[in-house]
Structure 1
């Protein structure tokens, strides 16, 4: 009898180990990334994982003299090098460029998730302490290289987004939207930042972007979720996974749009005046789900997070359920592919990069940490049609690549993208610690 019990127990243990291994084993993509891009991506059945696939590219930096590869007809050169984890860019009216040298606040707390994320971020080159600094770069002679560099603002708290409005420079710290008076041509600001509104921090998705709305009176602020799928409860997600609309004069705000897991890059379409964003979608549904996306955002929109993805596909892991939301979950306008980590966004607008790049958006894809094989690690262009939306059959066009070496290691990782005063594209590379400039030959 005892022998039979031991056999049964052994079988139960083996089945348990096999089940755990099946759920936790790295998931390999069954689709090419391009099949999960565009206006109508392939949305396959989820492959739920207990532990995420670990596939982050080890950060090694650029060998001496090496640089990314630009699209045909373009060239690339360093606009500024030797920076400290440059993440975000903003061009001032006089052509000066501000760069946020910044990183996540220290991840605190016990638990496997914190330990794993700290390890992954360190391997990906994001484990360095935040410089908490905004640096000003000036290319006065117009040769495409910033010959002047100054510490524009210091003592911030994981700063990210920057924008000017009514003589004030607004900065998205991880825990607050703040502002300081700005004088054109200034190379340093020493004024103490004034808090406009607090922003909930902690957990995942620390970066807070801010842009000016076309009305000239309000700002949009992106605040990512604290978790993957609200696994710590919705109370921990209060006023997160949102784009906020802020009235800075009165220090009032409202939720403009919701259900956006991590709306990082935001930009105004210069032709329509509409707000657009790129969003990092959820993890641990396998290497083919869910696609990061690019979408127009209107007041009152809800994009489904955490209950639904891609306009109504349910995530059965989320409790409690929210069936009433399903029919209202807005479908995004364009899929960028699974786990590409779309962060940077800018419209072609005043870009002078040839006829191919006049009506569309540039997207900085920071690159996957949980997909096999890797995805992202490049800058792409999405062509728009005459309707003000991505063209019907448009696929991403590679603009800047070569961030991964032949061994699959990250020489660099693109984040923020903007145009400079001459119409070239500037790309912040937080692993290569460089701002790259892409222009025509």
Structure 2
């Protein structure tokens, strides 16, 4: 028996054993959702549950399932791991194409994780580029495709302000000059910030409504400070960057992996979608959607959902005492990444609220996420109703394969919703049926 065969057996045993243990303990099927979720007691997992579907992609003619009253088409197929979307003032659409790397493999579980993630198309060689997509004739399909910017370091978030394109590379924010209608940017760009690489690698960017500041999401290096809190300094936070001075500061902390960022227009509040920690159970703790207060601390790594202490972490009682309870639970391990505000009137049957791209779980005995959902708002806050599906069907009913995994979401030209699908390698376009 070769070394690869031994490792393959280890992978299978770790996955099957962890799932069997969860079943023996009794799985919790009720999702932890809403303002006051029923979060099960933590059950620390000696062997974390490791379950992901095999990435298959979409066969010709196969598309996600749209909610009643909606239809979906491929705006731009045959991309390479598109993660995030930004619409330029002239209607051109930018798609950042990037992929996580495997990191250091030190243990049998690391190898099991790497093998599982590779099978699910979640790690590999990153394209490290941004592609420009243009729909000249307005038929909902981009017929023009150009490499807009390449040779980047896992590019993710983008923002266009005053003829400058800001790009969130994993190692920092870059600025590039841009002229309206340009189809390619050349040159090294200008570095504005430097971030530590590794771990949660995405760097989302959102401009303030007045365009004077940028907000950047930076996730943690590890699950719960596994390599010590010194290694986590400057991470698990949302940064504010002043465009005039070039100075940046931590705007909010204790956010394990804040990816999606969006403004709520009535209140002017910043909102984010956060991926919570692993290894405590199917629904413990839930990922969440929350408004973000300047100077606010949201618990990671010491506690979750307010002041629920995580006993696996050396504690800081003073920090726990200040932890803010998030606004709205999204269920355990949904990997809620994409976030955008949806005004009433864009999609029939959907009023004001937030759209969330749920990439899908790996640390659960029964998979969750793998869909695009809508959280209704009233008076500037979630109403408390359960999320509603906008797009589903990314995951096979038997959970063995995924056709796609939604990530970034944004409002596109002509009142549509655009969705980046990094396993299907496509940008989907959702409109009224």
Deviation for aligned residue 1:183: 1.0
CA contact (8 A) 1:30 1:288 kept: no
Residue of structure 2 aligned with 1:388, choices 339, 363, 380? 380
Q: Deviations over 1:183-216 (max 9, x none)?
A: 11111111212110101112x2111111112342
Task: Name the structure 2 match of 1:8.
Answer: none
Is residue 40 from structure 1 mapped to residue 32 from structure 2 by the alignment?
A: no
CA RMSD in angstroms, aligned pairs only: 1.7
TM-score w.r.t. length of structure 1: 0.91
In structure 1, the residue corresponding to 2:241 is in which secondary structure? strand
Task: Name the structure 2 match of 1:30.
Answer: 27
Q: Deviations over 1:135-175 (max 9, x none)?
A: 00011211111111100000001000000123211000011
Residue of structure 1 aligned with 2:62, choices 58, 63, 66? 66
- d(CA) in 2 for partners of 1:176 and 1:349? 31
Task: Name the structure 2 match of 1:5.
Answer: none
Matched pairs, number: 415
Is residue 423 from structure 1 mapped to residue 415 from structure 2 by the alignment?
A: yes
* CA distance 1:351–1:266, change in 2 (3 Å): farther
Q: Deviations over 1:56-112 (max 9, x none)?
A: 111111122111000001111100100000010001111111000111145235334
CA contact (8 A) 1:196 1:248 kept: no
Deviation for aligned residue 1:24: 8.4
Q: Quick check: which has more Rg, 1 or 2? A: 1
In structure 1, the residue corresponding to 2:430 is in which secondary structure? strand
Is residue 163 from structure 1 mapped to residue 159 from structure 2 by the alignment?
A: yes
Deviation for aligned residue 1:366: 0.3
CA contact (8 A) 1:180 1:194 kept: yes
- d(CA) in 1 for partners of 2:134 and 2:19? 49
Is residue 57 from structure 1 mapped to residue 53 from structure 2 by the alignment?
A: yes
Residue of structure 2 aligned with 1:219, choices 209, 214, 221? 214
Residue of structure 1 aligned with 2:395, choices 370, 379, 404? 404
Q: Does 174-183 or 403-412 show the bigger shift?
A: 403-412
- d(CA) in 1 for partners of 2:167 and 2:188? 12
TM-score w.r.t. length of structure 2: 0.92
- d(CA) in 2 for partners of 1:98 and 1:106? 26
1:35-434 correspondence to structure 2 within 5 Å: 36-108=32-104, 110-202=106-198, 204-319=199-314, 321-349=315-343, 352-354=346-348, 356-385=349-378, 387-391=379-383, 393-408=384-399, 409-434=401-426
Structure 1 runs not aligned, ≥5 long? 1-20
- d(CA) in 1 for partners of 2:218 and 2:30? 27
Deviation for aligned residue 1:113: 4.9
